[in-house]
Amino acid sequence: MPTLLLTSAIVSDAVCPNPKRKTDLFDTQTRGLLLEVRISGGKTFYLRYQDDRGKTRQLRLADAEYVSLSQVRGLAGKMRNKIALGIDPCEENTPNKVT
């Protein structure tokens, strides 16, 4: 689980090392932001955080092919604001949530 300052060049050049099926690159600038790089070549941004019960959650933010690093950092910031206000973005996106 490498931790580094993600840059646009790193995002575009990142490859999954053999024999792994996927690897996660954690950003040092935006807390919880990670880039998942799969052996297929797919790359997806996620936000990893802990919910109010202390469970580690991982929220899919966007496909790296369609958003820039600065856009996903802004989105991660918005999601972290929701978390700080007590709103769990993973629960918010659940379509059949029972209240």
Query: Would you call 17 helix, strand, or coil by DSSP?
Result: coil
27-34: which pairs have CB atoms within 8 A and are 24 or more residues apart?
27/3, 27/73, 28/3, 28/4, 29/5, 29/73, 30/73, 30/76, 30/77, 31/80, 32/76, 32/80, 33/6, 33/61, 33/72, 33/73, 33/76
Question: Domain range spanning residue 38?
Answer: 3-87
pLDDT above 70: residue 98: no
Give the count of alpha carbons within 13 A of 9, CB side only: 2
Res. 99 pLDDT band, cuts 50 70 90: very low
Q: What is the pTM of this model?
A: 0.87
pLDDT above 80: residue 38: yes
Domain count, the chain: 1
The CATH code of the domain that includes 16 is 3.30.160.390
pLDDT of residue 2: 85
**Do the Cβ atoms of 60 and 21 come closer than 8 Å?**
no
Model confidence pLDDT, tens digit, residues 47-94: 999 988 889 999 999 999 999 999 999 999 999 999 999 899 888 765
Q: Quote the percentage of the chain above a pLDDT of 90.
A: 75
Does residue 99 sit within a domain? no
Does residue 95 sit within a domain? no
